[in-house]
Amino acid sequence: MLSLLKINNLALVDQLVWQLDTGLVGVTGETGAGKSVIVGALKLVLGERAEKSLIRTGEETCTVEAVFDLADAPVVNSILEDSGLDACDDGQLIVKRVIGLTSNKQFINNSPATLAVLKSLGAYLVDLHGPHDHQGLLSTERQLSMLDAYAGATELGRDFRKAWRHWRSASDSLHNFQTAGVEGERELELLRHQLHEIDAAKPNPDEEEELETHYQRASNSSRLVELATGATNLLSAGEDTLMDRFGQLQKLCRDLEKLDPGLRETLEGVDRAVMELQEIDSGLIDYLDDLSTDPAELAALEERINTLETLKRKYGPGLDDVLVHRNEIADRLDSVENRAERLQELENEVAAARKLADAAGSKLSEKRRKAAPKLAKEIARHLKELGFKQAAFEVRLLPHREPEAGGLEGVEFEFGPNPGEPMKPLRQIASSGEISRVMLSVKSALADQDATPLMVFDEIDANVGGEIARAVGEKMARLGERHQVVAITHFPQVAAVAAHHFVVSKEVRDGRTCSQLVQVQDEDRIVELVRMLGGGGKQARAMAESLLV
Q: Is residue 276 one of the residues assigned to a domain?
A: yes
Q: Is residue 89 one of the residues assigned to a domain?
A: no
For residue 176, the model assigns a pLDDT of 84
| DSSP, residue by residue, 496-549 | HT-SEEEEEEEEEETTEEEEEEEE--HHHHHHHHHHHHT--HHHHHHHHHHHT-
pLDDT band at 367 (very low <50, low <70, confident <90, very high): very high
For residue 62, the model assigns a pLDDT of 92
For residue 450, the model assigns a pLDDT of 74
| DSSP, residue by residue, 302-364 | HHHHHHHHHHHHHH-SSHHHHHHHHHHHHHHHHHHHTHHHHHHHHHHHHHHHHHHHHHHHHHH
Q: Is residue 175 one of the residues assigned to a domain?
A: no
pLDDT, one tens digit per residue, over 115-166 is 988 888 887 888 887 665 555 677 788 889 889 989 999 899 999 999 999 9
Q: Is residue 120 one of the residues assigned to a domain?
A: no
Tell me how far apart the alpha carbons of residues 525 and 492 are, in angstroms, rounded to a whole number: 10
pLDDT band at 373 (very low <50, low <70, confident <90, very high): very high
Q: Is residue 68 one of the residues assigned to a domain?
A: no
Tell me how far apart the alpha carbons of residues 527 and 545 are, in angstroms, rounded to a whole number: 10
Which pTM value belongs to this model?
0.63
Q: Is residue 344 one of the residues assigned to a domain?
A: no
Q: Is residue 150 one of the residues assigned to a domain?
A: no
pLDDT, one tens digit per residue, over 447-503 is 888 777 888 888 776 666 667 888 888 888 998 888 889 988 888 988 999 999 999
User: What does the angle CA 535 – CA 541 – CA 545 come to, to the nearest 5 degrees?
Assistant: 135
For residue 496, the model assigns a pLDDT of 92
Counting the structural domains of the chain, the total is: 1
For residue 333, the model assigns a pLDDT of 80
Tell me how far apart the alpha carbons of residues 365 and 153 are, in angstroms, rounded to a whole number: 9
| 192 residue type, one letter | R
Domain around 280: 206-317
For residue 351, the model assigns a pLDDT of 96
| Pairing of β 111-112 and β 512-519 | unpaired
| Mean pLDDT on 327-354 | 85
pLDDT band at 208 (very low <50, low <70, confident <90, very high): confident
Average pLDDT, the chain: 84
Q: Is residue 147 one of the residues assigned to a domain?
A: no
Tell me how far apart the alpha carbons of residues 342 and 349 are, in angstroms, rounded to a whole number: 11
| Pairing of β 61-69 and β 2-10 | antiparallel
Least confident range from 1-5, 134-138, 397-401: namely 134-138
Residues 444, 478: contact at Cβ < 8 Å?
A: yes
For residue 454, the model assigns a pLDDT of 85
pLDDT(105) > 80: yes
pLDDT band at 509 (very low <50, low <70, confident <90, very high): confident
